[in-house]
Structure 1
Amino acid sequence: MTLSCFKAYDIRGKLGEELNEDIAYKIGRAYGQIYQPKTVVIGCDIRLSSEGLKQATIRGLNDAGVKVLDLGMTGTEEVYFGAFHLDVQGGLEVTASHNPMDYNGMKLVRENARPISADTGLKEIQVLAESGIFNDVAVKGTTEKYNILPEFVDHLMTYIDASKITPMKLVVNAGNGAAGHVIDAIEEKFKVLNVPVEFIKIHHEADGSFPNGIPNPLLVENRDSTRQAVIEHGADMGLAWDGDFDRCFLFDEKGQFIEGYYIVGLLAQAFLLKQSGEKIVHDPRLVWNTFDIVEQYQGEAIQSKSGHSFIKEKMREHNAVYGGEMSAHHYFRDFAYCDSGMIPWLLAVSVLSETQKPLSALVEEMIEKFPCSGEINFKVADTQTTIQKIFDHYADQNPVIDRTDGVSLDFGAWRLNVRASNTEPLLRLNIESRADRNPEPIQDYVDELTQLIQG
Structure 2
Amino acid sequence: MTRLNCFKAYDIRGRAGIELDEGVAFRIGRAFARALGASPVVIGHDPRLSSPALAAALAEGLVAEGSDVLDLGLCGTEEVYFATGHLNAGGGIMITASHNPAEWNGMKMVREGAAPLDPVADLCQIRALAEADAFGLRKPGGAVRDASATRAAYVDHVLGMTDVAAMQPLTILANAGNGAAGPTLDALAEGLASRGAPLRFVRVHHEPDGKFPLGAPNPILPENHAQTAEPLREAGADMGVAWDGDFDRCFLFDATGRFIPGEHVVSLLAAAFLSRAPGETIVHDPRVVLGIRDTIARAGGRAVMAKTGHVYLKRAMRETGAIYGGEMSAHHYFRDFFACDSGMIPWLLVAELMGRKRAALASLVDDLIARFPSSGERNFRPEDPEAAIARVMAAFGPEAAEIDETDGLSLSFPGWRFSLRQSNTEALVRLNVEAEGDAALVSEMTQRISALLEA
The TM-score bracket by the shorter chain reads over 0.9
Secondary structure of 1:108 counterpart = strand
Check conservation: 2:90, 2:112, Cα contact below 8 A.
yes
Which residue does the alignment assign to 1:47?
Answer: 48
- Residues 396/93 of structure 1: CA separation in 2 closer, same or farther (3 Å cut): closer
Aligned partner letter, 1:170: I
Q: Quick one: distance in 1 between partners of 2:429 and 2:227? A: 30
Aligned partner letter, 2:453: I
Aligned partner letter, 2:441: P
Secondary structure of 2:120 counterpart = helix
Q: Quick one: distance in 2 between partners of 1:37 and 1:423? A: 26
Q: Quick one: distance in 1 between partners of 2:52 and 2:380? A: 36
**RMSD (CA atoms):** 1.2
Which residue does the alignment assign to 1:125?
Answer: 126
Check conservation: 2:50, 2:105, Cα contact below 8 A.
yes
Which residue does the alignment assign to 1:32?
Answer: 33
Secondary structure of 2:30 counterpart = helix
- Give, in angstroms, the shift of residue 379 of structure 1: 1.0
Which residue does the alignment assign to 1:449?
Answer: 449
- Give, in angstroms, the shift of residue 111 of structure 1: 0.1
- Give, in angstroms, the shift of residue 128 of structure 1: 0.6
Check conservation: 1:7, 1:118, Cα contact below 8 A.
no
Please show how residues 336-347 of structure 1 align to structure 2 within 5 Å. Answer: 336-347=338-349
- Give, in angstroms, the shift of residue 138 of structure 1: 4.7
Q: For 1:4-48, what per-residue CA distance to the aligned partner results, in whole angstroms no more than 9, with x for missing partners?
A: 000011111112221100100000011111212231111000011
Q: Quick one: distance in 2 between partners of 1:398 and 1:127? A: 43
Aligned partner letter, 1:454: E
Aligned partner letter, 1:74: C
2:294 to 292, 295, 298: 292
Secondary structure of 2:426 counterpart = coil
Q: Which runs of 5+ in 2 are unaligned?
A: none
Which residue does the alignment assign to 1:429?
Answer: 431
Please show how residues 14-413 of structure 1 align to structure 2 within 5 Å. Answer: 14-136=15-137, 138-146=139-147, 147-413=149-415
Paired residues, number? 453
Secondary structure of 2:325 counterpart = strand
Q: For 1:61-112, what per-residue CA distance to the aligned partner results, in whole angstroms no more than 9, with x for missing partners?
A: 0010001111110110000001111131111110111111211111111100
Q: For 1:163-194, what per-residue CA distance to the aligned partner results, in whole angstroms no more than 9, with x for missing partners?
A: 11111110000001100111111111112111
Check conservation: 2:373, 2:439, Cα contact below 8 A.
no
Aligned partner letter, 1:84: G
Check conservation: 1:8, 1:117, Cα contact below 8 A.
no
- Give, in angstroms, the shift of residue 117 of structure 1: 4.6
Q: For 1:38-59, what per-residue CA distance to the aligned partner results, in whole angstroms no more than 9, with x for missing partners?
A: 3111100001110000000001
Aligned partner letter, 1:300: R
- Give, in angstroms, the shift of residue 396 of structure 1: 3.3
- Give, in angstroms, the shift of residue 118 of structure 1: 2.5
Q: Quick one: distance in 1 between partners of 2:303 and 2:51? A: 39
Secondary structure of 1:92 counterpart = strand
Check conservation: 1:270, 1:350, Cα contact below 8 A.
no
Q: Quick one: distance in 1 between partners of 2:184 and 2:340? A: 17
Q: TM-score, normalised by structure 1?
A: 0.97
Aligned partner letter, 1:362: L
Aligned partner letter, 1:333: R
Deviates more, 1:418-427 or 1:134-143: 134-143
Aligned partner letter, 2:447: D
- Residues 439/368 of structure 1: CA separation in 2 closer, same or farther (3 Å cut): closer
Q: Quick one: distance in 1 between partners of 2:258 and 2:317? A: 31
- Residues 144/398 of structure 1: CA separation in 2 closer, same or farther (3 Å cut): closer
Aligned partner letter, 2:349: L
Q: For 1:214-263, what per-residue CA distance to the aligned partner results, in whole angstroms no more than 9, with x for missing partners?
A: 22102222221210121111111000000000000000011111111111
Q: Quick one: distance in 2 between partners of 1:448 and 1:19? A: 40
- Residues 194/338 of structure 1: CA separation in 2 closer, same or farther (3 Å cut): same
Secondary structure of 2:13 counterpart = strand
Check conservation: 1:180, 1:204, Cα contact below 8 A.
yes
Check conservation: 2:374, 2:439, Cα contact below 8 A.
no
Aligned partner letter, 2:291: N
Aligned partner letter, 1:108: M
- Give, in angstroms, the shift of residue 357 of structure 1: 1.3
- Residues 191/392 of structure 1: CA separation in 2 closer, same or farther (3 Å cut): same
Secondary structure of 1:119 counterpart = coil
Q: For 1:405-438, what per-residue CA distance to the aligned partner results, in whole angstroms no more than 9, with x for missing partners?
A: 1111110211111111112222111100011xx5
Q: Percent identity?
A: 47
- Give, in angstroms, the shift of residue 114 of structure 1: 1.0
Aligned partner letter, 1:191: A
Q: Quick one: distance in 2 between partners of 1:392 and 1:273? A: 43
Q: Quick one: distance in 2 between partners of 1:11 and 1:349? A: 34
Deviates more, 1:377-386 or 1:56-65: 377-386
- Residues 452/211 of structure 1: CA separation in 2 closer, same or farther (3 Å cut): closer
Q: Quick one: distance in 1 between partners of 2:56 and 2:397? A: 55
- Give, in angstroms, the shift of residue 135 of structure 1: 4.3
Deviates more, 1:205-214 or 1:179-188: 205-214
- Residues 394/221 of structure 1: CA separation in 2 closer, same or farther (3 Å cut): closer
